[in-house]
Structure 1
């Protein structure tokens, strides 16, 4: 098991060059929030923007867009049923987050199939929530992209065939070998583990707790991962995913000192401050 230490955080979260612009910090497309799960994609978008993503576009139900913009005017948005615009956006971005609040219905299945058909090898594709459920239920072949999976225990059970009680290290390692090379697995649970296919070792979070057991926590984590995936090119995607996951639970851990339950949106508000503190520590 690898340790997530301050040196790794400082390696990933570095000072931004003065000559940079928003295009240097990731072009993201977030797809989800179909009725009745509109809040999920809003929480994912909040986390992505607060994590420093340069350009965030959200494809969701048209009725969900006013709610999104009332909380996050920094994000662009369009109706997920606009197939022409969706195909155009898929081709333009570097990171696609598919699944927060994606209903596992006919529309959801069509969206997953469309993204799988159009995503390219140079793009990062993060599969979360409804996208994982639909991918496993439909038996789809995974596309040639840089893949990140963020399943909770029941979703990993569906993906791997491992019952929750059987999801130990060796069994997970063997199941991971069935995924495409270099795929990243964020195995969410009481002690979240982050794996990369092809590596025998893994990272395990030492922060976080039951105060995170509330709706939207996974959506916020997925948004943070997407935000980190779109920036910090000086390190590999695996390290970016690990640090985003650690920061998510580290902030929650700190907030829990004064709160019985930590809300996902409260975590998002704290992300820029924590990233700034880590960045400043590089100068010390």
Structure 2
């Protein structure tokens, strides 16, 4: 097991050059936010926007349009029942699915659609309700994405893997992860007070940053969006995911110096400033 260190940020985050445009910094599609949980997909969206994804689209329930555009006018909106969603899935670099998605029939149809239209050139980040659905129906796990990133907290991982929280050791987690995703490039981000990151080559990384002020609703949704923003810009490799995990907690630690509770939306606001500090040539 290796510890994630701050130098992962300078390794991954690159200084932006003049002769570039928004298309050079990745296209992210976030899918989620039913009629009760619009905030989840908005917080994920802010994670992607504030880490610099060039183009961000959000497919969500129509009830969320006003709130989304009031907070984040940079994001393109699509009603998730629109037939154009299928074609949009195939056109982006990264799909983030799950925050506030729900677990009903329509949510399962969304996962089926993703499975049909994602390609080997894309990264797929599955979070929250998407993982709850997979725990019930593993056959809905998309098979064609270039890289799949799973981002469960420990209870979601218990439902998905069958391993109870006290027994979630590195060896047990790796065995369950490899059984779940066979012969495909994949990364598991197991969120806890010390998040562990696994790949299906058997490597294990632990994140030393983070604090209890971050134990609040929406923190995981924000991380999913940050991972989406990083993999869209810097590629769907393990280093991009490690950097996203580290930056997320680093921002939380900076805010915790003067705040008892770290709000996910406040954390997102700090991301761009921290990235500028660590951007390499």
User: What is the CA-CA distance between 1:187 and the residue it aligns to?
Assistant: 0.5
Match of 1:85 in 2: 84
Residues 15-67 of structure 1 deviation map (CA, whole Å, 9 limit, x = unaligned): 11211110011111100001200000000001100000000000001110110
Match of 1:151 in 2: 152
Residues 61-119 of structure 1 deviation map (CA, whole Å, 9 limit, x = unaligned): 1110110000000000011011x210111111110001011111111111111111211
Q: Which runs of 5+ in 2 are unaligned?
A: none
Equivalents in 1 of 2:97, 2:6: separation in Å? 30
User: What is the CA-CA distance between 1:5 and the residue it aligns to?
Assistant: 2.3
Equivalents in 2 of 1:150, 1:212: separation in Å? 16
Match of 2:27 in 1: 27
The runs of 4+ residues in structure 1 deviating greater than 3 Å are none
Match of 2:278 in 1: 278
* Aligned 8 A contact 1:28 1:55 in 2: yes
The TM-score normalised by the length of structure 2 is 0.96
User: What is the CA-CA distance between 1:222 and the residue it aligns to?
Assistant: 0.3
Match of 1:107 in 2: 106
Equivalent residues in 2 for 1:120-199, closer than 5 Å: 120-142=119-141, 143-145=143-145, 146-178=147-179, 179-180=181-182, 181-199=184-202
Equivalent residues in 2 for 1:45-60, closer than 5 Å: 45-60=45-60
Equivalents in 2 of 1:237, 1:76: separation in Å? 26
Match of 1:268 in 2: 268
User: What is the CA-CA distance between 1:141 and the residue it aligns to?
Assistant: 4.7
Question: How many pairs does the alignment contain?
Answer: 277
Match of 2:225 in 1: 223
User: What is the CA-CA distance between 1:144 and the residue it aligns to?
Assistant: 1.8
* Aligned 8 A contact 1:27 1:95 in 2: yes
Equivalents in 2 of 1:249, 1:120: separation in Å? 31
Q: Do structure 1's residue 118 and structure 2's residue 121 form an aligned pair?
A: no
Secondary structure of 1:29's aligned partner = strand
Equivalents in 2 of 1:68, 1:204: separation in Å? 34
Q: Do structure 1's residue 214 and structure 2's residue 216 form an aligned pair?
A: yes
Equivalents in 2 of 1:258, 1:53: separation in Å? 29
Q: In angstroms, what is the RMSD of aligned CA positions?
A: 1.2
* Aligned 8 A contact 2:149 2:187 in 1: yes
* Aligned 8 A contact 1:112 1:135 in 2: no
